[in-house]
């Protein structure tokens, strides 16, 4: 496979992944490789490492990957 066609295939995979993750389920399973999914992270307390001041880290959605057992 040429470098250009590999880049084209990879970019197509990224676009499909982005579109699927925007959906309500937000889960993509690639058999033999793993599963990409979105997870809600709750708000939590943290500390600014530079100043030591306590801060609240807001809740957000994060992108996760779980490798297949075969991987």
- Whole-number pLDDT of residue 35: 92
- Whole-number pLDDT of residue 21: 81
Domain extent listing, the chain: 3-67
Question: How would CATH label the architecture of 3-67?
Answer: Irregular (4.10)
What is the rounded CA–CA span in Å between residue 47 and residue 11? 37
pTM (2 d.p.): 0.64
Taking the CA atoms of 12, 17, 23 and 25 in sequence, report the sign of the dihedral they define. positive
Question: Which parts of the chain have pLDDT scores under 70?
Answer: none
Task: Tell me the DSSP string of 6-65.
Answer: HHHHHHHHHHHHHHHHHSSS-EEEETTTEEEEEEEEPPEEEE-TTT--EEEEPPEEEEEE
- Whole-number pLDDT of residue 63: 87
Helix or strand (DSSP H, E) at 67: strand 60-67
């Amino acid at each position: 496979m040429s470098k250009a066609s590999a880049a084209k295939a990879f970019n197509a995979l990224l676009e499909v992944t982005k579109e699927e993750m925007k959906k309500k389920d937000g889960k993509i399973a690639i058999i033999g490789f793993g599963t990409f999914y979105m997870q809600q992270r709750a708000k939590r307390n943290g500390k600014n490492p530079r100043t030591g001041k306590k801060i609240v880290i807001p809740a957000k959605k994060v992108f996760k990957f779980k490798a297949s057992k075969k991987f």
